[in-house]
Structure 1
Amino acid sequence: MKFLRYILFPVVPIYYLVTWTRNKLYDFGWKKSESYNFPLICVGNLSVGGTGKSPMIEYLIRLLKADYKIATLSRGYKRETNGFKLANVSDTAKTLGDEPFQFYNKFGSDILVAVDADRQNGIEKLRNLGNKPEVVLLDDAFQHRKVKAGFNILLSTYNDLYCKDFVLPTGNLREPKSGAKRANIIVVTKCPENLSDEEKAQIKKQLNPEIYQMVVFSSINYSKNVFSKTKQIGLNHLKPFTLVTGIANPNPLIQYLKSNNLEFEHLNFKDHHSFSNKEIDELAQLDCILTTEKDYMRLKDETKLQEKLYYLPIEVSIDQADVFNNQILSFVSS
């Protein structure tokens, strides 16, 4: 795969030019972006793959839900429905997509969860509801330039900074690095917990943020317990298990489990993998399964797995949480 990407390097300037030109058309107003008179926060990235958007959306929900009516709006990647859909008790990962279903499964009636590939239409539908949201969180919409969010949070992983990458197809960037200028805050995600001030300063220098941009660092906090549909047990009490992942980058989770001296094998599937009946039957032969919360959304209703399937929740920890929170709260209340 990497070899093929190197072969395709001559395509990089073409992809760069197309995406750069598209952004300039929006920047100069020749292509229209819709602005809104209520708080609209976008969480996204420049690269393909997992940068931690879902945990960040959940962080914002926890920060805001006590004081504001919150809605999340996602594309609903790989769902089996079309158009605008507002989550309800009959929905599954198949009707919403795994990440929106995770939001709904976790927060329930505390928030509104909607999916629509057309973000403009999704926002309009949400605002026309009788219990319309006061704040909308846009999940993975940084490149959706038809909507102009009032506040943009750009994520980039510690081990794969966008400033060191190329655009597709050789690299992982969806658009040129200059797109980072649209961000209000840049969050370096999945950092080691003991990241030194010197390394933070070095990373900031590499990112070279604009004067108006704040850079913060976040790490993953793993729960000490794992959960099934009916119970929870301590992670360290989990018997030898098979780790099943269908996420973009399972390496941080693998390293965490190894650091806890846990005994496991790993079955790795592509991001957002839809498990076939045959694969479910094969998983059912395993004694104990641990998966991520996102993957659990796609597997939780498989009756063959319910007695052996556990997931490990995560949350985001931000090193300058007070400053970060105040920026968000100031924007929402303005």
Structure 2
Amino acid sequence: MHKKLVFWVEEYFYNPSFIQKIISFVLLPLSWIYCFFMYVKFKSKIAEDFGIDIISIGNLSVGGSGKTPLVTALASRYKNVAIILRGYGRKSSGLYVVSNGAKILCGVEVSGDEAMIYAQKVSEAIVIVSENRKKGILKAKEMGAKIVFLDDAYSKHDIKKLDILIDVESKNLSCLPSGPFRERLWSQKEAVVVKEGTHFKRVVELKNKSDKMSLLSAIARPQRLDKYLPEVVSKNYFEDHHSFAKDEVLDILRRDNSKSLLVTYKDFVKLEQFGLPLSLLDLQVEVDEYIFKIIDNYRGK
């Protein structure tokens, strides 16, 4: 039931049917109230300077936007870097140091999938999960970080930072609950908007390919993968951040008589513990120097 609801909501936000458009229209008054509340919240905040360069990468809407590979590419450029995120979907709470920049200190259930991606792909970075981003920043400073990347923190208006927002196309431009937008790009707030295909582009590498693969995906809006996919036996979609049980994964392999499961890195970090045959659709991004110049100019101020 939960899985069906998640997929229904994704369709409602990004590719609504006629009935869903009617529901969205009916909910518009609630969206106006919500958006006004978010504006008041924004205006009530005073940005605190932590004495360290802080860059936030995110998007204004719910659902996937490609921020994880973008943060990975950006953070890999710098030294003495920390990546801080909430750690959505993890089976823990509070602040955890996932990686100290030399060693991974916990498992994926504690870190969450996205934090483990950062710990593995940006191996020299400090990676911290914390619902309280301010505590995470202070911990990163204590550990010697000189630049911090915040994963999805535009709404943290009480933190002085450079906001970089990924432009996500949607047929529904309303705020929650009528549409997918969590917040507006407020005219009084400085932010840099970047677009896939213009300021960064995806590079896809297929690793450990087999001649019979079943796609397994627990990312937001998994249909985004379609244009990168090789031929697969079946497509098996789960809700974003789904925690897999070994038996449900084995059932797919047995049902399809596949030789491997085709996964993205987000699911790879959760599935590798099972010791099953995995093929990896490794999605990375190449970043235009435009973005690096913006970051470097911000750091030079």
| Category of TM-score, reference length = shorter chain | 0.7 to 0.9
TM-score where L is the length of structure 2? 0.84
Report the equivalent of 2:160: 148
Q: 1:6 to 1:156 in 2, by over 3 A?
A: same
Question: Tell me, what secondary structure is at the counterpart of 2:248?
Answer: helix
- Contact 1:86 1:114 survives alignment (8 Å): yes
TM-score where L is the length of structure 1? 0.76
TM-aligned CA deviation for residue 317 of structure 1: 2.6
Q: Deviations over 1:66-125 (max 9, x none)?
A: xx20000010112122211111434222111101100101222x1111111101111112
Letter in structure 2 aligned against 1:73: I
User: What are the within-5 Å matches in structure 2 for residues 283-322 of structure 1?
Assistant: 283-285=252-254, 286=256, 287=258, 288-303=260-275, 305=276, 308-318=277-287, 321-322=288-289
**Given the alignment of the two structures, is residue 97 of structure 1 paired with residue 66 of structure 2, yes or no?**
no
- Contact 1:59 1:316 survives alignment (8 Å): yes
Report the equivalent of 1:325: 292
- Contact 1:220 1:316 survives alignment (8 Å): yes
Corresponding residue to 1:56 among 62, 65, 70: 70
- Contact 2:214 2:253 survives alignment (8 Å): no
Report the equivalent of 1:205: none
TM-aligned CA deviation for residue 13 of structure 1: 1.5
Corresponding residue to 2:85 among 74, 78, 103: 74
- Contact 1:39 1:134 survives alignment (8 Å): yes
User: What are the within-5 Å matches in structure 2 for residues 211-226 of structure 1?
Assistant: 216-223=198-205, 225-226=206-207
Q: 1:24 to 1:139 in 2, by over 3 A?
A: same
| Alignment RMSD (CA, Å) | 2.1
Letter in structure 2 aligned against 1:254: D
**Given the alignment of the two structures, is residue 25 of structure 1 paired with residue 44 of structure 2, yes or no?**
yes
% identical aligned pairs: 26
Any unmatched runs of 5+ in structure 2? 1-7, 13-19
Report the equivalent of 1:229: none
Moved over 4 A (4+): 4-7
- Contact 2:174 2:180 survives alignment (8 Å): yes
TM-aligned CA deviation for residue 7 of structure 1: 4.2
Letter in structure 2 aligned against 1:323: Y
Q: 1:250 to 1:72 in 2, by over 3 A?
A: same
**Given the alignment of the two structures, is residue 167 of structure 1 paired with residue 163 of structure 2, yes or no?**
no
Q: 1:330 to 1:16 in 2, by over 3 A?
A: closer
Matched residues in 1 for 2:34 and 2:263: separation? 35
Report the equivalent of 1:239: 211
Report the equivalent of 1:11: 30
Matched residues in 1 for 2:71 and 2:238: separation? 24
Q: Which has the higher contact order (CA 8 A, sep 6+)?
A: 2
Q: Deviations over 1:219-246 (max 9, x none)?
A: 21111x31xxxxx45xxxx313111111
Corresponding residue to 2:139 among 120, 125, 147: 125
- Contact 2:253 2:261 survives alignment (8 Å): no
TM-aligned CA deviation for residue 182 of structure 1: 3.1
Quick check: 2-11 or 42-51, which moved more? Answer: 2-11
Aligned residues: 275
- Contact 1:44 1:153 survives alignment (8 Å): yes
Any unmatched runs of 5+ in structure 1? 27-31, 192-215, 227-231
Q: Deviations over 1:293-319 (max 9, x none)?
A: 11111111013x2xx21221122134x
Question: Tell me, what secondary structure is at the counterpart of 1:182?
Answer: coil
Matched residues in 2 for 1:19 and 1:278: separation? 43
- Contact 1:73 1:122 survives alignment (8 Å): yes
